Amino acid sequence: MRNKTYLLLSFVLVHWGCQETPSILIDKNLKEVATFPIGLAVQANYLTNLRYSKTVLEEFNSLTAEREMKQNVLMPEPNTYNWIYADSIIAFAERHQMRVHGHTLLWHSSIPYWLDLFQGTDAEFETLIKTYIQTVVSRYAGKITSWDVVNEAFEDEGGELRNSLFQRRIGDDYVAKCFQWAREADPDVLLFYNDYGLVWNKSKCEAVIKMLDDFENNNIPIDGIGLQMHISDNYPRNSDIEKAVDLFVERGLKIHFSELDVRVNPNGTATELTQKLAEQQFRKVKAITEIYNTIPTAQKSGITLWGLRDNESWVLAHWGNLDWALFFDEKYERKLAHQGFLQAF
């Protein structure tokens, strides 16, 4: 039965502490109710699974490559591009009239081994990066709606630019240069800066705001901000998320909740997704979606879930404990988190 996946369906409207749980279940797909693009981070091999692709097509209208548009995959060897996986995701999206959000042109954690060992001059390094960015952006011009140009350029503490290979070899203005190079390659694609922690880390948020102000003062092209939503059911506070969103809305940028997952077992103490944990996740997803709904329509770039099924989530390997951070379980059945999104509308 389709709705058995909402765990136990005998809910009351008010629980302890007057916390809301669904009393009437909405039997709709995510994209049926969303008034903005609803996206999913995918891997090319997952899309060959019929059950997986069926769920994707039913629920989503936007795709992001979880791994296969990163530099270490696209350029595994010097002067050698591997387009196979990225092209297959693009082809799937084109067949089904889905949007593609590109992720990501530059990230310090996806540097190919040979680039770390590059022995050329700094000027040669800069030319190499420019050529890479423009080659990728040009190849997918007209096929990719938006790009995360640079990902996670700032340190977690102090608001400092991250001491990355790109910062060391190109300089403190490397982020601005990357946006300029991307714009030269495709005048129409939307350009985003993407980072985590902006909704709870004050120093990092302030650093990004300063960067945006510098961009404006120096005519550096940027269209939007990606607020990674790797969060938990009790952190960050909804009020802090609202405040951060307002700061970026005030600057007229498009807002992308770019990597949504909601952990419910951050301490690793739970051994299963209990009814209580599922309801906590429901409430957080509903709150996040309601916050996103307050953004002016023209500034909504969409919400992208960072994975389809709990057992495929990156959080398992990264945090090293059980968790159930996504909207579907390993059997492709909807969880209460799915209902939380729907209830926000």
Is 59 one of the annotated active-site residues of the chain? no
User: Mutual orientation of helices 336-343 and 275-293 as an angle, nearest 10°?
Assistant: 30
Is 330 one of the annotated active-site residues of the chain? no
Q: Which of 236, 135, 248, 253 is nearest to 191 (CA)?
A: 253
| Active-site entry in 259, 279, 312, 333 | 259
- At 11, the amino acid letter reads F
CA 342 to chain centre: 19
| Active-site entry in 68, 152, 279, 312 | 152
How far is Cα 215 from Cα 105, in angstroms, rounded to an integer? 18
Kindly list the catalytic residues: 152, 259
